[in-house]
Structure 1
Amino acid sequence: MVKKIGFLVGSLREEAYSKKVALAFAELFPDGYETELVEIGHLPLYNQDFDDVAGMLPEAYTPFREEIKGYDAFVLVTPEYNRSYPAALKNALDVGSRPYGANLWDGKPVAVISQSPGALGAFGANHHLRQVLVFLNMVPLQQPEAYIGNVHKLLNEDGSVKEEKTKGYFQSIVDAFVQLIESTEQPK
């Protein structure tokens, strides 16, 4: 059976490095895996009233939640904004985890890939995001850690990876994530 992997990209910019990194990683999954970018920029900011008051649920929430249900695992690719990850990504996690008791992320394997033009590779965003994933009861890939610093030097204009060494590093992350997915019992 084909396993579906949803990629959530933290940056909403059309030419975002996070999107380019996500696409580079998506190409590295083996046969038997289907990868897709999950659109998150259209989701209205979460408000508990949307779930509590009849008729208030934003139109975009239902198809997003249905889409999330269809994935076996997730890859979150994020830049760092002020030592954290972007609001659009937090909002998507919130929409998928509510209303209380209906957490769609529960038990799903997840890889966190942070990237930055700076040397630290969005270390702060990566760790801040992991705190939320623990609460959501996701199963995060622990090793290898994925902090991609100096991203602008690693990718060509079209988003392809410049050097085989970098591609090999990316592949090691995908291989470890595939192993995690295969060893994780999926929630019923």
Structure 2
Amino acid sequence: MSQTRLLALVGSLRAASINRRLAEAAAKTAPEGVEISLYEGLADIPFYNEDIDVEGKVPAAAQALRDAVAAADGLLLVTPEYNGTLPAVLKNAIDWVSRPYGVGAVKDKPVAVVSASISANAAKWAHGDAVKALGVAGASVVEDAHLHFGTIGQRFVEVHPAEDAEALTQIAATVGTLVEAARGNLVTA
């Protein structure tokens, strides 16, 4: 069996964000034969604009994202919730990888969404908006792989998610389900 490559896109740009730590924990749970890379560079991508999305002239940062998504077997989105929705940086990433519409890098790509916030709501609004945008963009959203973490400001303030046995078990299950979808062993929505 060949290596399965998953790409994690984290919606918080803060270096020490708990959402980033959740993605790091996911990378640590990767089973043998699976590589999870955290994408660096979302902050460098200009806002989507059809005037600059021209063949041969796509901004380098946007093209790098498209190439990384195209090379991945599946995506793991980790999103906080900003003002009741997903962060602009993730929405922008989805917009870039959805183009050209119908054949973009995210088309038919298995995707799992992990949401986390300081509220007990667990960023479920951001999660819902991410799932909606991904579905419209043509991704294969793996509903069985969704995961929500609430009150992360209390739960993970002193402990990295990779050191929380329950969180690590939940993340490993999400990664495992996404891997099965990426390998074609699971029907996705």
TM-score normalised to structure 1 length:
0.88
What is the CA-CA distance between 1:98 and the residue it aligns to? 1.8
- Alignment RMSD, CA only? 2.1
1-structure distance, mates of 2:30, 2:19 = 17
Q: Residues 154 and 162 of structure 1 are in contact (CA less than 8 Å); yes or no, is this contact kept in structure 2? A: no
Q: Residues 4 and 182 of structure 2 are in contact (CA less than 8 Å); yes or no, is this contact kept in structure 1? A: no
What is the CA-CA distance between 1:60 and the residue it aligns to? 1.9
What is the CA-CA distance between 1:82 and the residue it aligns to? 1.4
- Aligned residue identity for 1:148: F
Which residues of 2 match residues 24-43 of structure 1 at below 5 A? 24-39=25-40, 40-43=42-45
Q: Residues 114 and 146 of structure 1 are in contact (CA less than 8 Å); yes or no, is this contact kept in structure 2? A: yes
2-structure distance, mates of 1:172, 1:122 = 19
2-structure distance, mates of 1:134, 1:2 = 26
Percent identity, aligned pairs only?
A: 32
- Aligned residue identity for 1:45: F
- Aligned residue identity for 1:43: I
Q: Residues 111 and 139 of structure 2 are in contact (CA less than 8 Å); yes or no, is this contact kept in structure 1? A: yes
Q: Residues 156 and 162 of structure 1 are in contact (CA less than 8 Å); yes or no, is this contact kept in structure 2? A: no
What is the CA-CA distance between 1:168 and the residue it aligns to? 1.8
Quote the residue 2:91 is aligned against.
90
Q: Residues 155 and 162 of structure 1 are in contact (CA less than 8 Å); yes or no, is this contact kept in structure 2? A: no
Please, which of 29, 44, 52 is the counterpart of residue 50 of structure 1? Answer: 52
1-structure distance, mates of 2:124, 2:65 = 28
- Aligned residue identity for 2:170: Y
TM-score normalised to structure 2 length:
0.88
What is the CA-CA distance between 1:170 and the residue it aligns to? 2.0
Stretches of structure 1 lacking an aligned partner (at least 5 in a row): none
Quote the residue 1:12 is aligned against.
13
Task: Describe the shift of the 1:59–1:118 C-alpha distance in structure 2 as closer, same or farther (beyond 3 A).
Answer: same
Quote the residue 1:113 is aligned against.
114
What is the CA-CA distance between 1:56 and the residue it aligns to? 5.0
1-structure distance, mates of 2:59, 2:99 = 13
Tell me, what secondary structure is at the counterpart of 1:174?
helix
Task: Describe the shift of the 1:83–1:156 C-alpha distance in structure 2 as closer, same or farther (beyond 3 A).
Answer: closer
Tell me, what secondary structure is at the counterpart of 2:44?
coil
Give the length in aligned residue pairs: 184
